[in-house]
Amino acid sequence: MPPYKTFETERLYLRPTSYEDAAFIFELMNTPQWLRYIGDRNVTSVEAAKEHIKRNMIPQLERLGYSNYTVMTKADGRKVGACGLYDRKGLEGIDIGFAFLPQYAGQGYGFEAADELKKAAFGCFGLKELNAITTKENTASQKLLEKLGLRFSKLVRLADDAEELLLYQLSTRADKAETPV
């Protein structure tokens, strides 16, 4: 793979997720929070996580130059979560998403990582709009999206999904009311 853009914040490094992150992705995707709010992706082993990375993350990275990022602490290199910009099937435009291991929730890592990727979406990758989806029950995610400047737009359903999701949006377009902060 050619070198892709990585990001750095005051406390974090964000780098494109690769096969070396398979054990971490397996752990993250099987946390109770992931399963409850994002859904079971049938990643039942480290090998299945490698296949998920191969099938879902790397193709988008190669196509668009961005995808899922593994979030690590600068202090000791611990992998604490994932944050990314996704071209999600059934959703028009690019979606920002994030998930963190439970022991690192509530420490500001989610906002720090997502804010950096939001800035990159508009400044580095030239996006004009940014979307996010979350479940109605995931109030922590809703609060984080609002802190990032995204605003609730409408209820949506993704393909093959019975659950209605909340769609949040942020735009730099002149014809839209919201602008990035």
Q: What is the pLDDT along the chain (181 residues), one digit of tens a residue?
A: 567 999 999 999 999 999 999 999 999 999 999 999 999 999 999 999 999 999 999 999 999 999 999 999 999 999 999 999 999 988 999 999 999 999 999 999 999 999 999 999 999 999 999 999 999 999 999 999 999 999 999 999 987 777 899 999 999 876 554 444 4
52 in a domain, yes or no? yes
Please tell me the predicted confidence (pLDDT) of residue 10. Answer: 97
Q: Which long-range contacts (CB under 8 A, 24 or more apart) does 43-51 make?
A: 46/22, 47/22, 49/22, 49/23, 49/25, 50/19, 50/22
101 in a domain, yes or no? yes
Q: CATH number for the domain including 73? A: 3.40.630.30
- Which element (helix H / strand E) includes 82? strand 79-86
Verdict on whether the full-model pTM lies above 0.85: yes
164 in a domain, yes or no? no
15 in a domain, yes or no? yes
Q: Is 142 helix (H, G, I), strand (E, B) or coil?
A: helix
Please tell me the predicted confidence (pLDDT) of residue 110. Answer: 97
Please tell me the predicted confidence (pLDDT) of residue 179. Answer: 45
92 in a domain, yes or no? yes
165 in a domain, yes or no? no
Pair 46, 23: CB distance under 8 Å: yes
Please tell me the predicted confidence (pLDDT) of residue 3. Answer: 76
Structure tokens at 119: 């800035």
114 in a domain, yes or no? yes
32 in a domain, yes or no? yes
Please tell me the predicted confidence (pLDDT) of residue 45. Answer: 98
Which domain range does residue 112 map to? Answer: 7-127
What's the distance, Cα to Cα, between the start and end of the chain in Å?
A: 33
Counted domains in the chain: 1
